[in-house]
Amino acid sequence: MTIPSVLTRRDAVNTLFLAALAGSTGKALPASPGNQTLVAYLSRSGNTRVIAGFLSREQDADLFEIRTREPYPEDYDRHVDLARRQRDAEIAPALEDLPASFAGYDVVFLGFPIWGGALPAPVRTFLSANDFSGKRLVPFVTHGGYGPGSALETVAELVPAATVLDPFVLECDQERAIIERVSSWLEVSGVKS
Ligand SMILES: Cc1cc2nc3c(=O)[nH]c(=O)nc-3n(C[C@H](O)[C@H](O)[C@H](O)COP(=O)(O)O)c2cc1C
């Protein structure tokens, strides 16, 4: 990746981010203009959404959020319980919709958080419901400190006809940790009802 001699701060941040991403894949990023590129992502608390939005702007790509027909609970612990049960039963929950004209994309960036050390069930549905034959798939993964677990192996298993590039993996804040910090503060603040 060439770095232009004059950079705005935003350009510099973007260039460094994409350089890091390219470095992490060890392969040329599929960034050529004219590519039909999709950025598809799942996100509960927003970490993966930030990366997805950035990539779609940088790559001039369509953006698609993976949403289940039945929304996940707002409550964090109930969400964790449901995600665990879906993982253990290998359930692929129904999605609200799928990308229009999926066949027209050459490159699909696929972003997701790690849930229970595994690929989230809605991403399992997404991969099974679309034909990835001949496409390049670029995973980007966020996790709360325990790494990607089995998720990337599952991606490769579910789309054997795609070329899966090395992933971008990033440790991010955990909603659980934020909630625990706020709960502790409420305990000592004297304002708890
Ligand atoms: C249901 C659930 C399960 C999670 N399980 C793990 C886990 O096994 N390992 C881990 O490192 N982080 C885990 N996390 C933390 C998220 O992977 C991490 O915070 C991620 O960046 C959240 O992405 P998001 O903000 O796009 O939803 C879990 C979060 C949720 C909601």
Residue 6 domain-assigned (yes or no): no
Q: Is residue 4 part of a domain?
A: no
pLDDT for position 35: 59
Tell me, in angstroms, the distance from the centre of ligand 1 to residue 174's CA: 6
Does a structural domain hold residue 72?
Answer: yes
Residue ranges in the chain assigned as alpha helix (H): 9-25, 47-58, 76-88, 121-129, 151-158, 175-189
pLDDT at residue 43 greater than cutoff 60: yes
Q: Residue 49 domain-assigned?
A: yes
CA distances from 14 to 35, 55, 74 (A): 19, 9, 32
Question: What residues make up the domain containing 97?
Answer: 13-189
Please indicate, yes or no, if residue 35 is contained in any of the structural domains: yes
Is 2 a member of any domain?
no
pLDDT in tens, 104-124: 999 999 999 999 999 999 999
Report yes or no: 155 and 127 within 8 Å, Cβ to Cβ.
Answer: yes
Categorize the per-residue pLDDT at 191 as very low, low, confident or very high, splitting at 50, 70 and 90. Answer: confident
Q: Write down the pTM of the prediction.
A: 0.85
What is the whole-number distance in angstroms between the Cα of residue 113 and the centre of ligand 1?
5
Work out which ligand 1 atom sits closest to the CA atom of 80. Answer: 1
* Domain count along the chain: 1
Answer whether residue 19 is part of any domain: yes
CATH code at position 109: 3.40.50.360
pLDDT-based confidence at residue 127 (cuts at 50, 70, 90) = very high
Per-residue pLDDT reduced to its tens digit, 131-180: 999 999 999 999 999 999 999 999 999 999 999 999 999 999 999 999 99
Give the DSSP letter of residue 93: P
Ligand 1 centroid to 177 CA: how many Å? Answer: 11
